[in-house]
Structures are given as C-alpha cells and as structure tokens.
Structure 1
C-alpha cells in the first residue's frame, strides 16, 4: 500500500457530513432569497390591458386601454402604433397621476395617436410606476 501512496498520493479526505449539510442548506437559502428578491423587484405595481383600437386614417389611430394601479401612485405608460411589419409608426407617453381614491383602482383611457403611416395595431407597450406618494 505504501508504494501506491508514494506513487499516487494519499487519498483525499471527504467533507464531514455536517459541513456538507451546512453547504447545501446555505446554497438553497441563497437560491430561495434570490428568487424572492427577483420576484419582488420585477413587479411594477401597475397592470394594463388593451381593450380596443381604431385606425382612422394613415395619420390617425386611437386605443382604448385600462390601467390599474394604487390611487396614490403615478404611472407612465407607453402607447404605440405599429404597421404590418411591426415597425413603430406612432408613439405616445400617457402619464396617469394620483387620484383621490384609496386602494387599487382601474381607469379607462381613450388615447389618440398621430402616425407616420398606416397602422395595423395600437396598444400599450409597457407601464411603470414613476412616483408613489
């Protein structure tokens, strides 16, 4: 046996069971905390839904959208009109300020857009909270 030890070195020691268990528990804890943080950090606090849209002419389009947010928050929503190639031909930033109500509320908006060419679809691209009271 001593000739094998001289040739290949001594066998490697394994981690103790307690150390192995602590490393696994620590790794799982970091993973769960990371997942919770990402879930919390990516929630914008505002929901939106496209209801309908109308293309009136090659230079005019409009959309009816619902925006839900807490009454004390200010949200900015980007409304876009796109052509059949999915190129943006019209864009408007809609700012929805705080209101007198309390809690979460949904408001419907009719948004008119000027377009560079004929649009085939109109709707909200994204919404985010920009200020909370």
Structure 2
C-alpha cells in the first residue's frame, strides 16, 4: 500500500521566512532597553529614599555609673514626627537606661537635609557599656 502524503511547500505551510533585524534596528532596541533599565533603577533608588525613615547609631559616652549620652542619626521626611527608643546597655546586654525621644518636623531644602544628628542624655541604674537607638517609628 503506497501512501504519498500531500507535500505543500514549507513557505505555504509556515509562511515566508522572517528577515533578520538590521544592525540599525538592533542598535535602537539595545539603546531602548538600556534607557528602560536606567529609568527603572532611578525609580527604585529615588522611590525607596522618599518617605523612608532610618536611624543609625553614631556614638555614646558613659559619663558615670548613673549617666550616659547616646549620639545617633535619624533620617526622615521633613514634615514627619517620629519617636525613637534610645537605650544604654550593660555588658550582659541588659537595658540599664532607656528614654523615648520625640523628633518633630524640621526645615530643609533637599534630600541631604533629611538627616538629623541628635544627642540624648540618659539616667542609668548602673554603669552601662554601650548606647544604641533600639528602634524608631513614625507617629500618625
């Protein structure tokens, strides 16, 4: 039994072959992709800094068995009011002094002005060995 299938040409069956991209078209597509990637990177970089609040320990001074100072940096929006829990710890990491500090709105003109350096003086139960900002939160 001889069976010969109908053999239409490949062009009829699948369509004509597509032309490859020209060098000029390929260059423009690469430039467009790079521009889009740059725009996304800028969006996420700027978008993540606006409205974000951070705190960072800068230093501390243990004045005596009952007094210490903690230096820290808070970065926040100009019109935001935040509170930070500042603590002095002893050598077993136990809290020997703590204070909640309220940081209100402040003036500024550009993103570098979002940061404020602060010092908080604390009373301690006994001699501490370090001072930290435990956490900060924005007030509504």
Q: Check whether the contact 1:73–1:98 (CA below 8 A) recurs between aligned residues.
A: yes
Q: Check whether the contact 1:76–1:130 (CA below 8 A) recurs between aligned residues.
A: yes
Map 1:1-133 onto structure 2 (within 5 A): 45-101=52-108, 104=111, 105-131=114-140
Deviation at 1:63, TM superposition (A): 1.0
RMSD: 1.5
| CA shift digits 1:60-96 (9 cap, x unpaired) | 0001100000001001000001111111000011111
Q: Check whether the contact 1:70–1:102 (CA below 8 A) recurs between aligned residues.
A: no
Runs of 4 or more, structure 1, over 3 Å off, are none
How many residue pairs were aligned? 88
Q: Check whether the contact 1:73–1:97 (CA below 8 A) recurs between aligned residues.
A: yes
CA–CA separation in structure 2 for the residues paired with 1:106 and 1:61: 23
The structure in which a higher percent of residues are strand is 1
SS at match of 2:63: strand
Q: Which runs of 5+ in 1 are unaligned?
A: 1-43
Deviation at 1:101, TM superposition (A): 2.7
| CA shift digits 1:2-27 (9 cap, x unpaired) | xxxxxxxxxxxxxxxxxxxxxxxxxx
Q: Check whether the contact 1:75–1:130 (CA below 8 A) recurs between aligned residues.
A: yes
Q: Specify the structure having the higher radius of gyration (Cα).
A: 2
Q: Check whether the contact 1:51–1:65 (CA below 8 A) recurs between aligned residues.
A: yes
CA–CA separation in structure 2 for the residues paired with 1:112 and 1:72: 25
SS at match of 1:57: coil
Relative distance call for 1:103 and 1:93 in structure 2 (3 A) is: farther
